[in-house]
């Protein structure tokens, strides 16, 4: 390790101002801080600092996503073998298939996103921000398996530039970057993002699986949204374990729960938001069960609403994005609760989209500053009142 | 026990190098310095020249804006230099002490028989008024202002601060006299920690006693004011450090100034952390010599590790500091893969590290930032360590934006940089909060005057 450090120290001058490789300083800096904790010391204020930095916290978010990602890979293979091949393969065949189907998406998402980040960090003479570590892994997890790579690349580029960098980078963005990517795909290429033909891969990959034409498999939510009022898909354990068609990593409640536990123990995500999203969703689900229109979506039991689609995934990993959610503690309850409500409202009352989580979170991203405004305003009013009282 | 304020938010950082309650003696320093920067908000006008002889109590400089606020020499001897920096800013005035100390005799005073104006003029005359600070803005008080109250915190909750009860030993009477003097000026509040038991504190007279229970920053006077009698727009409060109350008491009891304080010499790189007596402004070369770790880059701090000032190993004891901390600089530490390894020797409030499972383990933290500077990303970090009725994140953003109305609305008049020291410590985006607050307060003060 000493040798590596010495080597880095030796080549470092080339990347600094005036060095011949200065054009790659952000790349060098990113690499150096990836290997070694930065040794810059404090020059003002507190002399000691907590060891938690954004690299550490973002890395733990990525770790919390891994169970859902691995399960997602397995499920991609499982769905393909069940629907396209017609029989189950071995565990490694199915996982291998899913791995090969998902890996290119991860590579493309990170490649495009980090590439843009590097260029912009270079241009702004800043360090590379870790925010995209999380967005980059989220993006392939929330798209259907059949989403073409070029679309993914285009959408990722769009989201990183227009949802994040033009606002000033990680910490300044209004919308969740991964969700903007998904929304871009959803509205630009609806045929590749919804319908019955995108959820299960129909191609053979490196000899694994089988190519079939015109394969259509509907998600349970898709069935409920197009079916008649009595066609509510029955609640099954598969909806909890995640062996159902859907976006790559959103299906397994259990895998997402493991991630949620990691996030809550480390305190990186807010339990207030997670909890209130579920409360809001359950509340609205029950309301529709009682008073809703006579459709399958409205008749779907509230717990099934919470288990299906992107609800869990959104509640745990998307709504809790610290930058785009409410930043006041009271605000977090309101923010989460409204996401839960909106997600179910969109599912039930909107005939166009069977899924409402993405739009609900993006919508509440807009309202998060407003919620905070009112919470902060109450503190301001209290202070004004206090001043009036003390002057009398 | 009446009036106990229980604080839940905050953090006691368990650091290596706590002071043992024994006194050691340090050789007499060769030089003393009075640093105008220790008295924030003052524009110094130096009135002595090099080679001039001074006594204890001879003014060295005064404030251009309030010429009656003087700052006096802590020792007698000969002025050696007036050091100036960029734009002729006065950095310090140094005095070489004489063997025999000569004092200006201001005469013993019976506080009870003095009027408010007399007390104030004695404090101005003797340079003690410079130790009175004022909020809003956390600057040296303006004697022409009328404060609604004076606040004294009876303990320092900063990491490794040491015990004020120990520092108080032998000065109990002076402390009470000091409180009597302050009580003449305005209603005076003394706030103690519930665990403090010294009779001189618990039975203090002429003051309103309050008790606080909770972790740091419970000892910060700003936090105490926020809970006891918060500052509204247009109101002024004065704050005096407990050590300065002793200075005031000594003057009125003996007629002489005595700026000796008991200093906690602490930190993971101090061989035997304990207490010593030093006069403010003392050069610390002899204190450090032979008492700190060798063969390591060290950071010397006059003050606590959260709020103190970095000094060189030939630096001076700050005028308002009664802690000297020595920690590793850490610029030669190269930790691998910090973003994922457990790093059990590092402290964090975040539970992606294991310090939450390590009980009362004492940490030897160095001066690294341990991360890159980012925009504020994670929320609720500051709120957890700031037990004040304030939204810290929003206030900081208002300061950064220079939005004066918003700063006022969010309570900028109630805060001082030190209140944000813990926020700065925990901030995962490594934002320089104390600097931001200081600049914000200075900007506001300039706009308002």
Pairwise CB contact (< 8 Å): A33 & B372: yes
Question: Nearest CA to CA, how far is B54 from chain A (Å)?
Answer: 34
Does position B335 have pLDDT exceeding 80, yes or no?
yes
Query: How confident is the model over B261-280, as a mean pLDDT?
Result: 95
Contacts of A45 in chain B (CB under 8 A): 307, 417, 421, 424, 432-435
Q: For residue B1, is pLDDT > 80? A: no
Nearest to A60 among B307, B352, B383 (CB): B352
Asked if residue A324 lies in contact with residue A175, where contact means CB atoms within 8 angstroms, the answer is: yes
**pLDDT of B420:** 96
Which of A53, A376, A386 is nearest residue B370 as measured by Cβ atoms?
A53
Mark yes or no for CB contact A50/B367 under 8 Å.
no
Judging contacts by C-beta atoms under 8 Å, the chain A residues touching residue B378 are: 54, 57, 268, 322
Q: Which residue from A46, A53, A168 is facing B421, i.e. has the nearest CB?
A: A46
ipTM (interface predicted TM): 0.93
Mean pLDDT of B330-348: 86
Grade residue B333 by pLDDT with cuts at 50, 70 and 90: confident
Alpha carbon of B206: minimum distance to chain A alpha carbons (Å): 23
Residue A4 has pLDDT above 90, yes or no: no
A373 vs chain B: nearest CA distance in angstroms? 10
Coil, strand or helix at B19? coil
> Does the distance separating the beta carbons of B330 and A45 come in below 8 Å?
no
Per CB-CB distance under 8 Å, the chain A contacts of B230 are: 386
Rounded (10°) CA dihedral A99, A102, A103, A106: -150
A47/B338 touch (CB, cutoff 8 Å), yes or no:
no
If you measure CA to CA, which chain A residue comes closest to B414? A383
Q: B410 and A54: CB-CB below 8 Å? A: no
CB contact under 8 A, A48 and B375: no
Using CB atoms, which residue from B307, B351, B430 is nearest to A265?
Answer: B351
What are A207-253's pLDDT values in tens digits? 888 888 888 898 988 888 888 888 888 899 999 999 999 999 999 99
Q: How many CB pairs under 8 A join A and B?
A: 221
E-strand stretches of B22-119? 23-24, 32-34, 44-46, 53-54, 59-63, 70-72, 77-84, 90-97
The nearest CA of chain A is from the CA of B125 a distance in Å of 33
Q: Report the share of chain A in percent with pLDDT over 70.
A: 100
| B389 Cβ under 8 Å from any chain A Cβ | yes
pLDDT for A206 = 86
Taking a contact as any Cβ pair under 8 Å apart, which residues of chain B between 290 and 309 contact chain A? Answer: 299, 301, 305-308
**Residues B398/B439, Cβ–Cβ less than 8 Å:** no
Q: How far is B126 from chain A (nearest CA, A)?
A: 31
Which range, A193-202, A209-218, B275-284, has the best average confidence (pLDDT)? Answer: B275-284
Mean pLDDT for the stretch of residues B316-327: 95
Q: Pairing relation of β-strands B32-34 and B90-97?
A: antiparallel
CA B267 and chain centroid, separation: 17
Residues of B whose CB is below 8 A from A325: 379
Query: Which residue from A minimizes the CA distance to B325?
Result: A47
Place of tokens 């920096």: B85
Give the mean pLDDT of A330-358: 92
User: Which of B11, B161, B334 is the best substitution to test chain A (most A C-beta atoms within 10 A)?
Assistant: B334
CB burial string B257-286: b at 16+ within 10 A, e below: bbbbbbbbbbbbbbeebbbbebbbbbbbbb
| Residue B77, φ and ψ in degrees, nearest 5 | 155, -145
Please give the Cα distance from A135 to A179 (Å, whole number).
9
pLDDT at residue number B2: 65
Chain A: residue whose CA lies nearest to B390: A379
Of A50, A127, A386, the CB nearest to B232: A386
A327 and B380 within 8 Å at the Cβ level: the answer is yes
Query: Which three-class secondary structure state does DSSP give residue A305?
Result: helix
CA atoms of B152 and B221, how far apart (whole Å): 7
Are B417 and B138 in contact by the 8 Å Cβ rule? The answer is yes
Per the CB < 8 Å rule, is B368 touching A265?
Answer: no
Task: Give A40 or B279, the one with higher predicted confidence.
Answer: B279
- The tens digit of pLDDT for each residue in B358-414 reads 888 999 999 999 988 899 999 999 999 999 999 999 999 999 999 999 999 999 999
Q: Which residues in chain A are closer than 8 Å to B434, comparing Cβ atoms? A: 44-46
pLDDT computed for residue A18 by the predictor: 80
Q: Which of B229, B321, B363, B370 to probe by mutation at the A interface, max A CB count within 10 Å?
A: B370
State whether A49 and B353 contact (CB < 8 Å): no
**Above 60 in pLDDT, residue B316?**
yes
Q: Which of B307, B393, B426 sits opposite A50 (nearest CB)?
A: B426
B358: Cβ–Cβ under 8 A, 6 or more apart, which residues?
B344
pLDDT in tens, B33-51: 999 999 999 999 999 999 9
Q: Model confidence at B25, in pLDDT bands (50, 70, 90)?
A: very high
pLDDT tens profile B82-139: 999 999 999 999 999 999 999 999 999 999 999 999 999 999 999 999 999 999 999 9
Instruction: Among A4-18, A65-79, A80-94, B403-417, name the one with the lowest average pLDDT.
Output: A4-18
Residues of A in contact with B352 (CB under 8 A): 52, 56-57, 60, 266, 268
> Which residue among B374, B391, B424 places its CB closest to the CB of A376?
B391
Per-residue pLDDT tens digits for A139-149: 999 999 989 99
Contact B352 A38 (CB under 8 A): no
Closest Cβ opposite residue B352 in set A131, A171, A266: A266
Beta carbons of B372 and A384 less than 8 Å apart: no
Q: What is the mean pLDDT of residues B259-265?
A: 95
Q: Which residue of A has its CA nearest to B434?
A: A45
Q: Does residue B374 sit at the A interface (CB-CB below 8 Å)?
A: yes
Instruction: Provide CB contacts within 8 A for B398, sequence distance 6+.
Output: B406, B407, B410, B412
Alpha helices of chain A — where are they, by DSSP H?
2-15, 25-35, 54-80, 91-124, 131-141, 149-159, 177-188, 190-193, 220-226, 238-241, 253-266, 271-291, 296-299, 302-307, 311-313, 329-349, 357-391
| CA dist., res. A119 & res. A269, Å (int) | 29
Q: Select from B235, B353, B372 the Cβ nearest to the Cβ of A52.
A: B353
Kindly indicate the confidence band of residue A36, based on its pLDDT and cuts at 50, 70 and 90: confident
Cβ of A37 and B353 within 8 Å?
no
Q: Do A53 and B430 touch (CB under 8 A)?
A: yes
CA distance B299 to chain A (A): 9
Q: H or E element: which one contains B440? A: helix B433-448
Is A387 in contact with A198 (CB distance < 8 Å)? no
Report the C-alpha gap between B17 and B20 in whole angstroms: 9
pLDDT mean across residues, chain B: 94
pLDDT for residue B280 is more than 60 = yes
Query: Using the beta-carbon criterion (under 8 Å), do A52 and B435 form an inter-chain contact?
Result: no
The more confident residue out of A125 and A67 is: A67
Query: In which element (H, E) is residue B121 found?
Result: helix B116-125
| Best CA proximity match to A238, nearest among A355, A87, A75, A97 | A75
The CA-based dihedral angle spanning residues A333, A336, A340, A346, taken in that order and rounded to the nearest 10 degrees: 130
Q: What is the pLDDT of residue B57?
A: 94
Kindly write down the DSSP assignment for every residue of A191-231, as one continuous string.
HHHSSSSSSS--S-BTTBS---SS-----HHHHHHHS-TT-
On the question of pLDDT at A11 being above 90, the answer is no
pLDDT score at A227:
80
Taking contacts as CB-CB distances below 8 angstroms, the residues of chain B near A44 are: 432, 434-435
Chain A residues in contact with B429 (beta carbon < 8 A): 53-54, 171
Residues of A in contact with B411 (CB under 8 A): 379, 383
In chain B, what residues touch A386 (CB-CB under 8 Å)? 230, 232
Q: Do A53 and B338 touch (CB under 8 A)?
A: yes
Domain ranges of chain B: 383-448
The CA distance from B431 to the nearest CA of chain A, in Å, is: 10
Tell me what the mean pLDDT of segment B418-441 comes to: 95
B379 and A CB contact within 8 Å: yes
CA distance A23 to A359: 39
């Amino acid at each position: 390790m000493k040798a590596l450090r010495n080597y880095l120290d030796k080549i470092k001058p080339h990347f600094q101002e005036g060095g011949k490789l200065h054009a790659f300083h952000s790349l060098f800096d990113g690499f150096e801080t990836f290997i070694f904790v930065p040794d810059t010391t404090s020059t003002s204020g507190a002399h000691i600092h907590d060891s938690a930095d954004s690299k550490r916290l973002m890395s733990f978010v990525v770790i919390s996503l891994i169970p859902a990602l691995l399960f997602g890979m397995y499920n991609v293979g499982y769905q393909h073998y069940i629907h396209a091949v017609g029989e189950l393969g071995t565990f490694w065949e199915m996982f291998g298939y899913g791995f090969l189907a998902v890996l290119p998406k991860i590579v493309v998402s990170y490649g495009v996103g980090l590439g843009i980040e590097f260029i912009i960090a270079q241009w702004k003479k800043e360090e590379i921000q870790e925010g995209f570590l999380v967005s980059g892994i989220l993006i392939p997890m929330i798209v259907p398996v059949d989403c073409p790579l070029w679309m993914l690349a285009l959408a990722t580029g769009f989201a990183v530039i227009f949802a994040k960098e033009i606002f000033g980078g990680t910490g300044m963005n209004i919308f969740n970057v991964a969700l903007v990517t998904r929304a871009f795909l959803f509205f630009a290429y609806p045929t590749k993002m919804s319908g019955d033909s995108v959820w299960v891969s129909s191609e053979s990959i490196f000899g694994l699986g089988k190519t079939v034409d015109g394969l259509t498999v509907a998600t349970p939510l898709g069935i409920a949204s197009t079916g008649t009022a009595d066609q509510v898909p029955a609640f099954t354990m598969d909806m909890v374990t995640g062996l159902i068609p859907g976006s790559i990593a959103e299906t397994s409640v259990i895998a997402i729960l493991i991630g949620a536990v990691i996030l809550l123990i480390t305190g990186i995500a807010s339990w207030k938001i997670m909890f209130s999203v579920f409360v809001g969703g359950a509340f609205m689900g029950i309301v529709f069960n009682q008073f809703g229109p006579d459709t399958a979506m409205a008749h779907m039991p509230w717990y099934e609403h919470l288990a299906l689609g992107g609800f869990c995934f959104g509640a745990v990993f998307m709504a809790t994005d610290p930058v785009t959610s409410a930043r006041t503690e009271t605000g977090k309850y309101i923010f989460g609760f409204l996401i839960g409500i909106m997600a179910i409202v969109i599912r039930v009352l909107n005939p166009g989209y069977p899924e409402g989580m993405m739009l609900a979170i993006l919508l509440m991203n807009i309202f998060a500053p407003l919620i905070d405004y009112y919470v902060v305003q109450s503190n301001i009013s209290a202070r004004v009142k206090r001043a009036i009282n003390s002057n009398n | 026990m009446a009036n106990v304020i229980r604080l839940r938010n905050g953090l006691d950082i368990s650091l290596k190098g706590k002071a043992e309650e024994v006194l050691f003696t340090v050789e007499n320093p060769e030089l003393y310095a009075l640093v105008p920067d220790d008295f924030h908000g003052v524009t110094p006008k130096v009135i002595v020249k090099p080679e001039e002889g001074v006594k204890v109590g001879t003014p060295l400089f005064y404030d251009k804006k309030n010429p009656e606020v003087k700052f006096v020499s802590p020792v007698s001897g000969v002025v050696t230099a007036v050091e100036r920096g960029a734009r002729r800013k006065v950095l310090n005035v140094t005095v070489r002490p004489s063997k025999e100390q000569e004092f200006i005799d201001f005469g013993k005073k019976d506080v009870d028989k003095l009027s408010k104006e007399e007390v104030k003029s004695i404090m101005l005359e003797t340079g003690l008024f410079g130790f009175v600070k004022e909020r809003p803005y956390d600057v040296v008080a303006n004697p022409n202002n009328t404060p609604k109250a004076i606040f004294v915190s009876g303990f320092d909750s900063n990491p490794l601060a040491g015990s004020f009860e120990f520092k108080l030993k032998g000065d109990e009477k002076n402390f009470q006299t000091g409180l009597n003097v302050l009580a003449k000026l305005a209603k005076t509040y003394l706030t103690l920690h519930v665990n403090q038991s010294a009779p001189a504190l618990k039975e203090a007279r002429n003051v309103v006693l309050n008790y606080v229970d909770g972790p740091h920053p419970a000892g910060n006077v700003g936090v105490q004011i926020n809970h006891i009698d918060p500052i509204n727009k247009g109101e002024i409060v004065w704050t005096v450090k407990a050590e300065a109350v002793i200075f005031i008491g000594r003057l009125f009891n003996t007629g002489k100034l005595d700026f000796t304080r008991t200093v906690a010499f602490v930190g993971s790189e101090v061989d035997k952390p304990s207490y010593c007596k030093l006069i403010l402004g003392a050069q610390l070369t002899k204190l450090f010599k032979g008492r700190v770790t060798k063969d390591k880059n060290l950071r010397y701090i006059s003050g606590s590790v959260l709020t103190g000032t970095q000094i060189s190993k030939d630096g001076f004891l700050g005028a308002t500091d009664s802690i000297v901390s020595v920690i590793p600089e850490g610029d030669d530490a190269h930790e691998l893969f910090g973003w994922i390894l457990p790093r059990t020797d590092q402290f964090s409030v975040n539970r992606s590290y294991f310090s939450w499972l390590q009980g009362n383990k004492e940490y030897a933290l160095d001066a690294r930032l341990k991360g890159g500077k980012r925009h504020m990303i994670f929320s609720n970090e500051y709120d957890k360590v700031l037990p004040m009725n304030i939204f810290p994140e929003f206030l900081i953003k208002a300061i950064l934006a220079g939005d004066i109305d918003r700063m006022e609305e969010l309570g900028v008049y109630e805060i001082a940089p030190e209140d944000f020291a813990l926020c700065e410590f925990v901030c995962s985006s490594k934002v320089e909060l104390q600097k931001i607050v200081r600049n914000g307060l200075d900007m506001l003060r300039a706009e308002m005057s």
